[in-house]
């Protein structure tokens, strides 16, 4: 059938209520703002001075001023540098490469203060791209509640005193043969590793523990037993024709998102539609990877092992595919698992599974199976086997291996720590920058053990649950104030340099260790760690046979942020089948399964006090500021719960009460909960956000994220989760006969596109406008967004926030629909709630040629520029909100308050946090409308450069913040008058369309329709 029909038939729905045509939602959609948006907006309550009185005062003061107007207004002072540092020109940014959040980045610095973080463009892995988390680290640097100096038992202490006391304690512990425990996160820095080893040498009773609440430990253990190495090669995802993701969120939560997204979306390029890859996603919860899949199969995570074994059975025994010869014992093991039985048992869609098997068989050596980080070791081993059988190990890139320097502590080791603590065998415990009391399973009893350790030291950036219980709390510097290095991939060695001197009386945590190693409090100098990192770097220099001297090599490396390491000839690991014999699959039960997952944005709780990150809506559910238990609508019906109702989850005697969110596409009898929320010792921004699911974790197996046999009941009561999705109903259903032609999302399949490339525009007709047309001479700005590439990762949202001084509004205001993001990612469901198809769409100001907002502004504050921008003059805006009313895309944002002042008692309104603002962009105040400007400040910067160079401005000179962040390269920006430009090619592309085209507002943002790479028989 023609694609047109399938497109039109699709009823896109945005949430479950809408799917059932809830009258309340229908009513809400008819209104401009959701209920409550304009509530509490009573001017009388805002100010005790009435309008009349205010005007009286105003005129009185004006009269008074007039009489006093005998002198000039003072214009303040200009304070120049006394000695201007070389290369610093006030008003011009400098860029420095460093490491932030484990990624090599380029930091924009103005007059010595970091104001923006972007990807490092020269870096072969990141290629100038960035994830959603890293740019927001700036807010941690300027967090008003950072620790500003060291404390001992909550009282201020100076560094020298603290250091000498601690040195005495360490010495004493060694003399008395008591253990010194040091707990760290996973360490990827060779310099820090060397420091820890030096520390162990200096204080021989030291024992090193490492812990993280989520990570790829299971995968590395599996690789260790199958290949004898924990260094996992990277995957040439761009070479994969078929990708099977088993609960693996490789585009979202799991590490290396930036590269994965880039490589994955390289094969989603509409300019080369013969080259599309196909993603199968088999998962229980709805992940970012799942919503981007071509086929999605619902399966609880505890059935994954059985699934992989059944696949092996089908592929090896039935289809007789054997790129490697399997031993008889393995064959007999897998012979027990029949795929057919498996399909029947879990009521899976056999058509999809057959496609999957056929594809895997057909594309041997060109496909890859990925297992999720939360899956147990056995599944990882089975997946390794499956990839070997299919010959997919050809996609392993041994030239760029994910290095691993140390295994994480096992539960037994952590138990050992706790038991020696309770026996009084631990003299000193050092918490090296993490939060183990919050993140470790409560069962281990670390919190109780803390009281039995005489001296506990936390080196942390801001107070947390662990530092709260520590004797010494030492204020650590932010990453942007630190020296360091990273050796994540075998071919790239990265360097970190400070961008700003420590703002407060803090010290870098590595430097604190260094002082102790050097053995005296006086040994500290801010530069010591600099020299240490540099000395350590000599190891790399010596290996490289570089023709230049070390100093030049070091400065070059610092400048670039990384050096390419010539890899020692990497040999393919040999595969050891015997590890597979140990695999045994356990029967899945009919009880609930709880699946603990990493949070998309706030990490393990480390970023819980970061308002920017808390306010980015979850990529799938669009819930902000909280975590929740995601539950399938069927299971919810069974439990009798609705959205926001509490459920009580009991696992092995541990329990948690948490509100539920009905998530279409979830497997039944499954709760998916994110970790990192529910912090208690935290600043004002992160207070009361979410629920701590760590309490459910088992102490016997620290990297077990699947908790079986959970009892779930309805205890009564409800909570209020806020999400941004319902706020902007792009009304389609309410205008029943119109929705078919309201092509907000347009989609097709690859096959049908190949058959008829013009399918999107077949029933187009000429539109007539009533507004005056603009003439565009010179540059005309336009943007295109490729929905094939966009994964809804929200990197653009953070980058826009940082670039454009977007305020944090807080949970209560998000509930009122007053979030201020200039770019949002809309998510639409189509199909059934059990098995929905998901479409994401970044939505921002469309800079319409015939902008409806412009006509209705009574003060002409918003109007059109000759280069095609819909411009907004804040100082002219009087706040009628007519423009927002008249905008069909709902992208205009109104400052109902001065949000910096309003959020959490003016949390972000202080001298320190003001430093985060981009000086090139106005900080908007109350009563003003705002929206996306296409980063006009960047356009102006490019124009300035063009004028200085005496040439015309070109479209390629400008990159908007969202564009430069996008790891998928989905956003293209440029001059649409230049017919040779990339943007023109996308605008003219057959798949290009405008949202609500028939309104004839002539938007300048072109969307490229998504093509799903499904099998043609299905359509």
Partner 1 sequence: MKKTVLDYTLKFRLPLILFIAAAAFVVTFYISRAERDGVGYKPLQPINYSHKLHAGEMGIDCQYCHVGVTKGRHALVPSVNICMNCHSVARKDKPEIIKLTKYYEEGNPIPWKRIHKVPEYAYFNHSVHVNKGIDCESCHGNVREMEEVSQIKPFTMTACLDCHRNPQEKLPYLKNVKVGPENCAACHR
Q: Which residues sit at the interface with partner 1, rule CB under 8 A?
A: 66, 69, 71-84, 89-92, 863-867, 869, 871-876, 920-922, 933, 936-937, 940, 943-944, 947-948, 950
- As measured in angstroms, the least distance from the Cβ of 864 to partner 1 is 8
- Complex with partner 1: residue 81 or 571, whichever CB lies closer: 81
Q: Determine the Cα–Cα distance for residues 285 and 754; give it in Å rounded to an integer.
A: 33
- Complex with partner 1: residue 179 or 854, whichever CB lies closer: 854
Phi, psi of 789 (to 5 degrees): -95, -35
Q: What is the DSSP code (8-state) at residue 455?
A: E
- As measured in angstroms, the least distance from the Cβ of 455 to partner 1 is 41
Polymer length of the chain: 1019
- As measured in angstroms, the least distance from the Cβ of 863 to partner 1 is 7
- As measured in angstroms, the least distance from the Cβ of 801 to partner 1 is 16
Residue whose entry in the numeric block shows the structure tokens 């010179």: 778
Identify whether the C-beta of residue 26 lies closer than 8 Å to the C-beta of residue 17. Answer: no
- Complex with partner 1: residue 296 or 864, whichever CB lies closer: 864
- As measured in angstroms, the least distance from the Cβ of 832 to partner 1 is 46
Per the structure block, which two tokens stand in for 591? Answer: 């009880």
- Complex with partner 1: residue 709 or 863, whichever CB lies closer: 863
- As measured in angstroms, the least distance from the Cβ of 82 to partner 1 is 5
Angle (CA) 938-944-947 rounded to 5° is 140
Other C-beta atoms within 10 Å of 634: how many?
Answer: 15
- As measured in angstroms, the least distance from the Cβ of 85 to partner 1 is 9
- As measured in angstroms, the least distance from the Cβ of 908 to partner 1 is 20
- As measured in angstroms, the least distance from the Cβ of 975 to partner 1 is 16
Q: Determine the Cα–Cα distance for residues 281 and 958; give it in Å rounded to an integer.
A: 37
Angle (CA) 682-687-688 rounded to 5° is 135
Q: Determine the Cα–Cα distance for residues 936 and 925; give it in Å rounded to an integer.
A: 19
Per the structure block, which two tokens stand in for 515? Answer: 């002082």
- As measured in angstroms, the least distance from the Cβ of 867 to partner 1 is 8
- Complex with partner 1: residue 84 or 319, whichever CB lies closer: 84
Residue whose entry in the numeric block shows the structure tokens 């997204």: 261
- Complex with partner 1: residue 234 or 850, whichever CB lies closer: 850
- As measured in angstroms, the least distance from the Cβ of 501 to partner 1 is 15
- Complex with partner 1: residue 36 or 112, whichever CB lies closer: 112
| Partners of 298 in beta bridges | 283
- Complex with partner 1: residue 460 or 872, whichever CB lies closer: 872
Angle (CA) 954-959-963 rounded to 5° is 140
- Complex with partner 1: residue 904 or 915, whichever CB lies closer: 915
Per the structure block, which two tokens stand in for 161? Answer: 């005193």
Identify whether the C-beta of residue 656 lies closer than 8 Å to the C-beta of residue 646. Answer: no
Residue whose entry in the numeric block shows the structure tokens 């905008």: 887
- Complex with partner 1: residue 43 or 72, whichever CB lies closer: 72
Q: Which residues contact 441 (CB under 8 A, 6 or more apart)?
A: 694, 697, 698, 699, 702
Per the structure block, which two tokens stand in for 551? Answer: 């100093």
- Complex with partner 1: residue 326 or 853, whichever CB lies closer: 853
Per the structure block, which two tokens stand in for 229? Answer: 């190495």
Per the structure block, which two tokens stand in for 717? Answer: 């009561």
- Complex with partner 1: residue 58 or 940, whichever CB lies closer: 940
Reported as half-sphere exposure (CB side, CA atoms, 13 A), residue 340 has a value of: 2
- Complex with partner 1: residue 769 or 866, whichever CB lies closer: 866
3-state secondary structure 749-781: EHHHHHHCCCHHHCCCCCCCCCCCCCCCCCCCE
Beta strands 295-298 and 623-624, pairing class: unpaired
Of 590, 581, 614, nearest in space to 600 by CA: 614
- Complex with partner 1: residue 78 or 768, whichever CB lies closer: 78
Reported as half-sphere exposure (CB side, CA atoms, 13 A), residue 738 has a value of: 12
- As measured in angstroms, the least distance from the Cβ of 502 to partner 1 is 19
- As measured in angstroms, the least distance from the Cβ of 120 to partner 1 is 24
Other C-beta atoms within 10 Å of 926: how many?
Answer: 15
Q: Which residues contact 736 (CB under 8 A, 6 or more apart)?
A: none
Residue by residue, DSSP assigns 369-381 as EEE-TTS-HHHHH
Identify whether the C-beta of residue 536 lies closer than 8 Å to the C-beta of residue 189. Answer: no
Cα Rg of the chain (Å, integer): 29
Angle (CA) 439-442-443 rounded to 5° is 135
- Complex with partner 1: residue 262 or 864, whichever CB lies closer: 864
- As measured in angstroms, the least distance from the Cβ of 84 to partner 1 is 4
Angle (CA) 141-147-151 rounded to 5° is 160
With 0-12 / 13-18 / 19 or more C-beta atoms within 10 angstroms meaning exposed / middle / buried, residue 403 is middle
Q: Determine the Cα–Cα distance for residues 117 and 541; give it in Å rounded to an integer.
A: 28
- As measured in angstroms, the least distance from the Cβ of 995 to partner 1 is 23
- Complex with partner 1: residue 937 or 1014, whichever CB lies closer: 937
- As measured in angstroms, the least distance from the Cβ of 90 to partner 1 is 5
- Complex with partner 1: residue 509 or 893, whichever CB lies closer: 893
- As measured in angstroms, the least distance from the Cβ of 955 to partner 1 is 16
- Complex with partner 1: residue 637 or 951, whichever CB lies closer: 951
- As measured in angstroms, the least distance from the Cβ of 950 to partner 1 is 7
Residue 177 to residues 216, 520, 693: CA-CA distances in angstroms? 35, 21, 37
Other C-beta atoms within 10 Å of 20: how many?
Answer: 12
Greatest CA span in the chain, whole angstroms? 102
């Amino acid at each position: 059938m023609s694609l047109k029909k399938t497109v039109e038939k699709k009823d896109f729905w945005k949430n479950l209520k809408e799917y059932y045509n809830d009258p309340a939602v229908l009513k809400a959609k008819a209104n401009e703002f959701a209920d409550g948006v304009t509530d509490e907006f009573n001017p009388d309550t805002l100010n005790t001075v009435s309008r009349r009185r205010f005007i009286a005062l105003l005129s009185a003061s004006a009269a008074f001023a007039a009489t006093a107007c005998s002198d000039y207004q003072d214009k303040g002072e200009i304070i120049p540098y006394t000695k201007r540092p070389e290369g610093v020109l006030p008003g011009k940014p400098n860029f420095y490469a460093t490491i932030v959040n484990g990624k090599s980045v380029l930091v924009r610095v103005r007059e010595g203060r970091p104001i923006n973080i972007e990807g490092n463009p020269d870096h072969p892995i990141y290629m100038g791209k960035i994830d959603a988390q890293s740019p927001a680290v700036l807010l941690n640097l300027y967090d008003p509640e950072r620790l500003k100096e060291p404390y001992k038992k909550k009282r201020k202490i100076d560094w020298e005193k603290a250091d000498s006391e601690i040195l005495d304690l360490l010495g004493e512990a060694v003399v008395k043969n008591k253990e010194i425990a040091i707990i760290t996160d996973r360490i990827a820095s060779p310099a820090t590793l060397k420091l820890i080893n030096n520390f162990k040498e200096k204080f021989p009773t030291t024992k090193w523990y490492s812990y993280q609440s989520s990570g790829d430990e299971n995968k590395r253990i599996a690789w260790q037993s199958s290949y004898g190495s924990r260094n996992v090669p990277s995957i040439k995802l761009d070479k994969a024709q078929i990708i099977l993701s088993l609960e693996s969120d490789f585009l979202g939560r799991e590490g290396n998102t930036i590269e994965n997204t880039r490589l994955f979306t390289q094969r989603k390029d509409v300019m080369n539609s013969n080259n599309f890859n196909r993603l199968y996603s088999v998962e229980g919860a709805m992940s970012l990877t799942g919503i981007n899949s071509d086929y999605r199969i619902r399966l609880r995570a505890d059935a994954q092992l059985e699934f992989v074994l059944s696949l092996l059975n089908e592929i090896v025994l039935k289809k007789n595919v054997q790129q490697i010869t399997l031993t008889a014992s393995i064959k007999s093991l897998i012979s027990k698992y029949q795929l057919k039985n498996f399909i029947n048992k879990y009521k899976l869609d056999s058509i999809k599974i057959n496609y999957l098997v056929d594809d895997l068989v057909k594309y041997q050596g060109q496909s890859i199976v990925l297992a999720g980080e939360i899956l147990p070791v056995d599944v990882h081993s089975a997946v390794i086997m499956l990839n070997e059988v299919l010959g997919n190990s050809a996609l392993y890139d041994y030239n760029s291996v994910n290095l691993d320097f140390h295994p994480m502590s096992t539960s037994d080791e952590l138990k050992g720590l706790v038991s020696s603590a309770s026996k009084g065998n631990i003299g000193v415990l050092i918490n090296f920058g993490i939060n183990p009391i919050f993140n470790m399973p409560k069962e281990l009893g670390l919190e109780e053990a803390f009281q039995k350790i005489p001296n506990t030291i936390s080196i942390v950036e801001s107070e947390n649950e662990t530092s709260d219980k520590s004797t010494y709390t030492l204020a650590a510097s932010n990453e942007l104030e630190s020296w360091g290095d990273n050796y994540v991939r075998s071919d790239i060695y990265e360097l970190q340099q400070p961008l700003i001197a420590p703002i407060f009386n803090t010290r870098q945590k590595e430097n604190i260790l260094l002082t102790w190693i050097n053995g005296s409090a006086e040994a500290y100098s801010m530069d010591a760690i600099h020299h240490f990192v540099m000395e350590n770097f000599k190891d790399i220099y010596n290996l490289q046979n570089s023709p230049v001297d070390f100093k030049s090599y070091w400065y070059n490396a610092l400048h670039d942020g990384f050096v390419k390491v010539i890899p020692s000839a990497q040999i393919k690991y040999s595969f050891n089948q015997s590890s597979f014999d140990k695999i045994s699959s356990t029967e899945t039960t009919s009880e609930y399964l709880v699946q603990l997952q990493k949070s998309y944005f706030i990490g393990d709780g480390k970023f819980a006090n970061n308002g920017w990150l808390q306010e980015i809506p979850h990529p799938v559910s669009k819930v902000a500021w909280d975590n929740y238990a995601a539950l399938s609508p069927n299971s919810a019906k069974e439990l009798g719960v609705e959205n926001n109702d509490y459920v009580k989850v009991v696992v092995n005697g541990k329990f948690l009460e948490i509100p539920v969110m009905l998530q279409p596409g979830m497997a039944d009898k499954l709760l998916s909960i994110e970790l990192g929320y529910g912090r208690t010792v935290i600043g004002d921004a992160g207070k009361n956000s979410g629920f701590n699911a760590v309490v459910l974790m088992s102490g016997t197996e620290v990297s077990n994220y699947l908790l079986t046999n959970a009892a779930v009941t309805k205890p009564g009561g409800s909570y209020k989760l806020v999400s941004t999705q319902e706020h902007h109903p792009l009304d389609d259903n309410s205008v029943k006969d119109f929705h078919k032609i309201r092509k907000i999302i347009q989609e097709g399949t690859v096959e049908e596109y190949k058959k008829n490339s013009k399918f999107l525009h077949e029933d187009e007709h000429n539109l007539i406008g009533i507004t005056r047309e603009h003439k565009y001479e010179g540059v005309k700005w336009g943007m295109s967004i490729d929905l094939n590439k966009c994964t809804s990762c929200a990197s653009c949202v953070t980058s826009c926030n940082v670039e454009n001084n977007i305020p944090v509004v807080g949970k209560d205001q998000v509930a009122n629909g007053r979030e201020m993001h200039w770019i949002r990612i809309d998510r639409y469901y189509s199909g059934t709630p059990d098995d929905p198809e998901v479409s994401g769409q970044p939505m921002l100001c469309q800079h319409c040629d015939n902008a409806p907002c412009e006509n209705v502004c009574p003060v002409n504050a918003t109007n059109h520029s000759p280069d095609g921008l819909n411009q907004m003059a804040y100082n002219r805006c009087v706040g009628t909100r007519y423009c927002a009313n008249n905008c069909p895309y709902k992208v205009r944002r109104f400052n109902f308050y001065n949000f910096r002042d309003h959020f959490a008692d003016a949390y972000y309104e202080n001298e320190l946090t003001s430093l985060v603002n981009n000086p090139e962009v106005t900080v908007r105040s109350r009563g003003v409308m705002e929206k996306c400007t296409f980063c006009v400040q960047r356009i102006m910067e490019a124009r300035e450069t063009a004028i200085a160079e005496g040439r015309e401005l070109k479209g390629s000179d400008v990159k908007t913040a969202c564009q430069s962040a996008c790891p998928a390269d989905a956003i293209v920006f440029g001059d649409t008058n230049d017919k040779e430009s990339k943007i023109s090619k996308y605008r003219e592309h057959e798949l290009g369309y405008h949202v609500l085209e028939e309104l004839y507002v002539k938007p300048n943002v072109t969307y490229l329709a998504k093509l799903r790479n499904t099998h043609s028989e299905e359509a």
